[in-house]
Amino acid sequence: MPPALRARRPARRSPIVLVSNREPFEHQFGPDGSIAISRPAGGLVSALLPVLERHGGAWVAWGSGDADFAVTDADGVVALPPAHPTFALHRLRLSAAEIHGYYTEMANRALWPLCHYQFQHFGFDQSGWRTYRRVNARFAQAALAARRTPDAAIWVHDYHLASVAGHIRHLAGPRPFVHQFWHIPWPAPDVLRALPVARTLVEDLLGNDLLVFQTPRHRLNFLASVADQLPRARVDLDRGLVRHARRTTTVRAVPISVDVAALERRASRPDVVAEARRIRRRLLGRRGQLILGVDRVDYTKGIRRRFDAFTRLLELHPELRGKVTFLQVAPPSRPGIAAYRALQGELQAEADKVNSRFGTPSWRPLELRMEHFDPRALAACYLAADVCLVSSLQDGMNLVAKEFIASQHGHAGVLVLSEFTGAAEDLDGAVLINPYDIGSTAEAVVAALAMGIGERRVRMAAMRRQVKAHTIHHWTATILREVARLRRGT
Ligand code: ADQ
């Protein structure tokens, strides 16, 4: 094993213990037996890595890479990032049966579609639920063990780990301060009723001292769900307090954001600016405009309908043929789930269809890149685009929208944004769409392409002011301030 990869525990105290399903770094064996390190795509890791790089501490996560345990110590711990370790990653080893029940079945076939209102993908079985709770209990134990001091707060993330706080109460009583951020939407109470174990899920979440959602809408949905599932709980909607089983949970909304300064710096680098020019030249030739989509391959992101809207645009506006190109960057995700594999195939087939129907020897209308991009390549795409199109059917926040804004230092890009994203509630200046309305989405993109430079600048400047005033560091500080306030009891 290369010495740089060997486990070294950082000497500093652990002020935060983060707990998430996805790990921030993954180790994989190459074909020659060497070990490579990578950062998985996804909003959660992009959002939290700067937090631990800044604060230090411990991170508990599933060790999903095939070489993960080759670089840890006997307890599954490795110091990261490799060059300048700032935190200790505690990796949990999960069996194939655990991964199936906890991750594939309960998290991604039950909770994910339900929270995104996608009933056609929703499925539930009791054995997946039992495994989910057992695995959540393992995360709870690992989080308690990762604390350097008994008063370290435990910060749990997302829908994979809804039962962790409940297990911590069971294992360690009322003392440890536990809080959770729910990255995806929380559905309306009637939707939650489809989940046979909704009541236990809500009770487990009320094991948290503080529970934070992306938007006021999701927060209200949760409070209404508590009233619906637990009629004896006391719910104070105005103050966001729930009193249940002799405990109080504070419920807040704090929209997540991005590392604006880092994204802006990256998009200003001469090599990124040059790459953005190359992308435009390659995809547009001498003239033309670029529409950009960036999403994990996921049915909630509305990529299929987005392709339909682009087709409609080309049908209804023949004058735009040869003058606009749509670049869709879409790294495959959750390959273990059939619906995701099928979607990947469908998107490729649809892109081929658009290109063979409208393409010419000198113009390829839809460029679909189903691969992971490194941060600089992604920054060049954001910078190159005239229009960024986000058409999620539901989305907790959508970091792509904010990354685009942070990268557009030229102020000339237009954001076309689904009204069903948390970002739409958080930003003024985007052109809002209902992604189910294909015709109106197509017309909104046409309007964005035709928008004068003056209006583009005004809109982008407004959005840039908003994201600069609410960066990922503000998000962290707001949540940690609330944690401190609650711990003081004020
Ligand atoms: P996601 O559903 O993963 O996140 P999103 O917020 O859009 O969605 O974040 C996607 C992230 O993946 C972005 O940081 C983007 O840069 C990155 N990414 C996308 N394509 C990539 C590619 N080809 N190569 C490299 N990186 C790529 C969940 C919720 C969201 C919520 C976040 C954070 O579903 O609603 O905003 O968590 O809370």
Give per-residue pLDDT as tens, 73-94: 999 999 998 888 888 999 999 9
CA 411 to mean position of chain CA atoms? 25
Contact 463, 415 (CB under 8 A): yes
Which single residue is written with the structure tokens 């929703």? 122
Q: What spacing in Å lies between the alpha carbon of 395 and ligand 1's midpoint?
A: 10
The verdict on the CB of residue 332 being under 6 Å from ligand 1 is no
Residue 242 main-chain phi, psi, to 5 deg: -125, 130
Pocket lining: 378 vs ligand 1, CB cutoff 6 Å: yes
Residue 476 in this model has a pLDDT that exceeds 50: yes
Residue 464 CB–ligand 1 contact under 6 Å? no
Q: Which residues of 4-29 are buried (b: 16+ CB within 10 A; e: fewer)?
A: ebebbbbeeebbbbbbbbbbbbbbee
Counting every residue, how long is the chain?
490
**Rounded Cα–Cα distance for residues 15 and 149 (Å):** 8
Encode 169-192: b = buried (16+ Cβ within 10 Å), e = exposed: beebeeebbbbbbbbbbbbebebb
pLDDT single digits (tens) 117-136: 999 999 999 999 999 999 99
Residue 11 clears pLDDT 70, i.e. is over it: no
CA dist 406 and 385 (Å) reads 13
**Residue with token string 């307890």:** 75
Mean pLDDT of the chain: 93
Mean pLDDT, range 86-103, rounded to an integer:
96
pTM above 0.85, yes or no: yes
DSSP-assigned beta bridge partners for residue 329: 294, 369
Best substitution site from 155, 294, 298, 394 to test ligand 1's pocket, by max atoms within 8 Å of Cβ?
A: 294
**Residue the block writes with tokens 């998290």:** 107
Q: What is the pLDDT of residue 143?
A: 97
Return the percentage of the chain with pLDDT > 70, whole number: 96
Q: Is 324 in the pocket of ligand 1 (CB under 6 A)?
A: no
Query: What is the per-residue pLDDT across 257-308, written as a single tens digit (0 to 9) for each?
Result: 999 999 999 999 999 999 999 999 999 988 899 999 999 999 999 999 999 9
Q: Does residue 396 have its Cβ closer than 6 Å to ligand 1?
A: yes
Ligand 1 center to 45 CA (angstroms): 9
Q: How far is the CA of 40 from the centre of ligand 1 (A)?
A: 10
| pLDDT at res. 62 | 97
Q: Is 372 in the pocket of ligand 1 (CB under 6 A)?
A: yes
pLDDT for 222: 98
Tell me the C-alpha distance between 204 and 128, whole Å: 17
